[in-house]
Chain A
Amino acid sequence: MALKKMFHRLTASVDELDTEDLKEFCSRFPQATPIAEINPREPVIAVGEITSLRIVPRKDKTRWLEASISDGTGTLVAMWTGRRRIAGVKPGQRLLVQGRCSPTGPGGRMMMYNPIYELL
């Protein structure tokens, strides 16, 4: 069994291993719901890693901070309105977010506005 596991770690792609690590990390939080299983518009807690960060320029000259958060099962989008940066919120950061999602993000992804967040 150990040999099989070692073989897997040697042959699997880096992406695959990263995803497994991330999934393992996220499963340590029992209060969190896997992103793929989030129901729209219910209060929810999710854990994941910021895969990309975008500052969205808006017509009214404000800037919104958009973070794509992935936990290996899916991706959700956290949007902080009127913020251009938040200390600690950077690509690769693992965090816990709490709020309500709606499937209105880019490509129908779950979108959470101004979630309560906790850096991990």
Chain B
Amino acid sequence: MKVAIAGAGNVGAYIAQDLVTAGHDVLVIEESADLVARLRPTLDVNWFTGDACEVTTLQQAGLADADVVVAATGEDQVNLVVSLLAKQEFAVPRVVARVNHPKNHWLFNETWGVDVSVSTPHLLTALVEEAVSVGSLVRLLPFEGGEATLIEVTLADDSPAADRSIADLDVPRDATIVAVVRSGHVVVPRGDTVVQAGDEVLALVTPDSEDRVKAILVGG
């Protein structure tokens, strides 16, 4: 897969290294010629020196045949412009953007051409919540620009769902239980699967069905 990364800072360079190791065709666009000269010997990717906010730069760099664009610079405004240009001028199928300041997170949506936004603080919050919480609902990953969300609930002893089969739970039609993790094993959920206290239940929900699923799994 051809991946173009805007910005060769710590984040960009690291992603580039990872993707090259995974066997992808990686192109890095970086404005600073010094940085490119410094990184070129250690990082075996295609380099392009130029301003990623310029359509002509992106054209020359060959964005027209990139499968994925990652806007990974340290500046949110740059990431937004790169995302918008990638989506609208080059019709890139998948655009991933890094959110530097959590306060800007709301801007990173389809209007700006962003398919997936990655915000370190938000990811950390979700992971910390997941690690410390039993018996509460944790949102792990939004899909389709927030139309669906992967949630996780570790069932507490007093969960209304404990010791009941999945068919019995009466999950709403626009939500689904996708996996049950029990003592390190993934249990593929079927109608007759009985969930127990301590199980980690993963479910895909829509904003409408989230409250109902919460009531089923958490109670209250």
Q: Which residues on A are within 8 Å of B, measured CB to CB?
A: 40-42, 58-60, 62, 81-82, 100-102, 104, 111-114
Contacts and interface: CB of A to CB of B under 8 A. Distances in A.
B109 A41 contact: no
Given A59-B146, A113-B88, A114-B88, A104 B111 contact: no
Residue of B65, B88, B91, B109 most packed against chain A (CB within 10 A): B91
B139 interface: no
Interface residues of B, number: 15
Interface of B: 64-65, 87-93, 109-111, 145-147
Given A41-B64, A41-B65, A58 B91 contact: no
B87 A58 contact: no
A102 B91 contact: yes
Nearest to A62: B111
B69 to A, nearest CB: 12
Given A58-B110, A60-B109, A40 B145 contact: no
A58 B64 contact: no
**Nearest 9 CB-CB pairings of A with B:** A102-B91, A113-B88, A100-B91, A41-B91, A114-B88, A41-B64, A60-B109, A60-B111, A62-B111
Nearest to A79: B88
A102 B111 contact: no
A113 B111 contact: no
A58 B111 contact: yes
Residue of A41, A111, A112 most packed against chain B (CB within 10 A): A41
A112 B90 CA distance: 10
